[in-house]
Amino acid sequence: MAPETIGDRIKTRRKLRGLSVRQAADFADIAASTWSRIERGERGADNLTILSGMAQALRCSVADLIGDGHLPVGGESVGLVDDVHDILAALVETDLGDEATSDPAPLDYLTREAALLEDLYRRGDFIATAARLAPFLRQLHATAVTAEAASDARRSLELTVLAAHRMMNVLRNVGQRADAYLAGERARDAANELEDAELTGIAAFTRAHAALGCGSIERGHKVAEAGLRALAGTERTRRAEAVAGQLHLTSAMCLYGLKRDAEAEPHLTEAEGLAGRTGDCGQDLGWFGPTNIGIWKLAIEVDSGDPKQAVRIARSTNAMRLPAPTRQASFYLDAGRAFARVGTREADATAVRMIATAERIAPQRVQFHPLAREALRVVVMRAGRSSIDSQLRGLCERIGVTA
């Protein structure tokens, strides 16, 4: 029996709602023919803007449609289900008004642990990162609420903002999109306690992307705009400019997704100007800079614009300039999705190479990515069984596509 596809889930949801294809498509503001082709599996259901509209029409989440939230078991991911449960419990139980649920830890240990977690995430090892996040958050919380020295409490809260941001990213990447929003709330709480504009901006970026992961584009835009207002008038340090740049990119992505291109373009222009001043930054500043702008432009175009333009951006961007496997893999996944949308035999072959490259760089990034599977599924369907070689078949087996 063939596994359930995104199109199958959409069709089931539509019928449960008692809607015809035309009615559902009207609610989602897309063509009925597009909806029908997605249901039949003839068109890839890997466009987040379209999926967000479909989810709203069907009164469900994007995660419900793409099959997120069902963690794989076996292999390297043994224990991940327990780790994700522990992370959620830690997020629920570490409100700053609550008592500590762990022993506090020395600041030098917490700083080293934060650096280790950043390195694990940079390399795309979400499983190892997830295993350490829950105890780390509890130790940060305990230190913040019990510290006698104000400087110790402040440092633990700073690390909490950054740890919550990383939790959001990990939870999104392993398919727990709704839980990721609570991580954003923890980042906001810690930043508010500190009254630090730059950390407030980081927390806003965290919450905005958690909202985007849930398909809440308008919410993502509002949160990003609030973060930019918090940064207005602050000293323009390199960190402040990098955070502002990331928030401008987030606003642009949201506005393009909402089909408000005229409002999106100034945000993109402002981000490019900021990137020209900061140059390519390191992981501590979110890898913001000219190279990352190209990766963002590709991500925006692949979900909100023209796939051929996305292909042109992919061909002109050298993601390998960033020493961050997670960012490189994200670029190659989006590039693969863009080439798959073009639909020619040559473009399909390039799409496969791009997805395979992403898998080689950061295997877990692809393993947990339902939209990568969907793009590859469409390529395989167009190719036909006789054209599937052993290399492509192996890739399909590893990421869960029937070939």
How high does pLDDT run on average in the chain? 92
User: Angle at the Cα of 169 (from 163 to 171), degrees rounded to 5?
Assistant: 100
Other CB atoms closer than 10 Å to residue 311's CB: what's the count? Answer: 21
Element (H, E) at 191: helix 177-194
Q: How far apart are CA 392 and CA 356, in angstroms?
A: 9
What contacts 152, CB < 8 A, 6 or more positions away? Answer: 107, 143
DSSP reduced 3-state for 146: helix
Query: Does residue 390 surpass a pLDDT of 70?
Result: yes
Q: By mean pLDDT, which of 43-47, 64-68, 228-232 is the weakest?
A: 64-68
Q: How far apart are CA 117 and CA 246, in angstroms?
A: 21
Q: By mean pLDDT, which of 45-49, 85-89, 181-185, 252-256 is the weakest?
A: 45-49
Q: How much is the average pLDDT of 38-48?
A: 92
Query: Does residue 73 surpass a pLDDT of 60?
Result: no
pLDDT at position 368 is 87
pLDDT at position 70 is 54
What contacts 326, CB < 8 A, 6 or more positions away? Answer: 121, 122, 123, 124, 362, 365
Q: How much is the average pLDDT of 314-332?
A: 94
pLDDT at position 389 is 85
DSSP string, 248-313: HHHHHHHHHHTT-HHHHHHHHHHHHHHHHHH-S--GGGTT-SHHHHHHHHHHHHHHHS-HHHHHHH
- What confidence tens digit (pLDDT) does each residue in 228-248 have? 999 998 888 999 999 999 999
Of the chain, the percentage scoring pLDDT greater than 90 comes to 77
Six token digits for residue 138: 């509890």
pLDDT at position 69 is 56
Of the chain, the percentage scoring pLDDT greater than 70 comes to 97
pLDDT at position 2 is 63
Which of the two residues, 58 and 343, has the higher pLDDT score? 58
Backbone dihedral region of 105: left (phi > 0), alpha (psi from -120 to 50 degrees) or beta?
beta
pLDDT at position 75 is 59
Predicted confidence band at 74 (pLDDT cuts at 50, 70, 90)? low
- What confidence tens digit (pLDDT) does each residue in 1-20 have? 567 889 999 999 999 999 99
CA distances from 311 to 164, 264, 265 (A): 33, 20, 20
pLDDT at position 174 is 86
- What confidence tens digit (pLDDT) does each residue in 134-184 have? 999 999 999 999 999 999 999 999 999 999 999 999 999 888 888 899 999
CATH of domain 1-67: 1.10.260.40
pLDDT at position 156 is 97
- What confidence tens digit (pLDDT) does each residue in 343-368 have? 899 999 999 999 999 999 999 999 88
pLDDT at position 62 is 87
Contact status, residue 199 vs residue 191, Cβ threshold 8 Å: yes
Predicted confidence band at 203 (pLDDT cuts at 50, 70, 90)? very high
Query: Does residue 133 surpass a pLDDT of 80?
Result: yes
Which pTM value belongs to this model?
A: 0.92
Q: Indicate the domain borders of the chain.
A: 1-67, 70-195, 317-403
